[in-house]
Amino acid sequence: QTVVTQEPSFSVSPGGTVTITCGLSSGSVSANSHPSWYQQTPGQAPRTLIYNTNTRSSGVPDRFSGSILGSKAALTITGAQADDECDYYCVLFVGSGWVFGGGTKLTVL
Partner 1 sequence: EVQLVESGGALVQPGGSLRLSCSASGFTFNNYFMHWVRQAPGKGPEYISTISSNGDTTLYADSVRGRFTIFRDNSKNTLFLQVSSLRPEDTAMYYCVKDRSGTWSFDYWGQGTLVTVSS
Of 12 and 49, which has the nearer Cβ to partner 1?
Answer: 49
| Closest distance of CB 29 from partner 1, Å | 13
For residues 76 and 69, the answer to whether their CB atoms sit within 8 Å is no
Examine residue 10 and tell whether it contacts partner 1 (CB under 8 A). Answer: no
Examine residue 101 and tell whether it contacts partner 1 (CB under 8 A). Answer: yes
- Among 59, 70, 83, 96, indicate the residue that binds partner 1 (CB under 8 A): 96
Of 13 and 48, which has the nearer Cβ to partner 1?
Answer: 48
Q: Which stretch binds partner 1 (CB under 8 A): 18-26, 52-60, 63-71, 76-84?
A: 52-60
Positive or negative, the CA dihedral 35, 36, 37, 38 is negative
Instruction: Please give the C-alpha separations between residue 80 and each of 5, 18, 59, 65, 70, in angstroms, as whole numbers.
Output: 23, 8, 17, 12, 23
Binding residues (CB under 8 A) for partner 1: these are: 1, 34, 36, 38, 40, 44-48, 51-52, 55, 57, 87, 89, 91, 93, 96-103
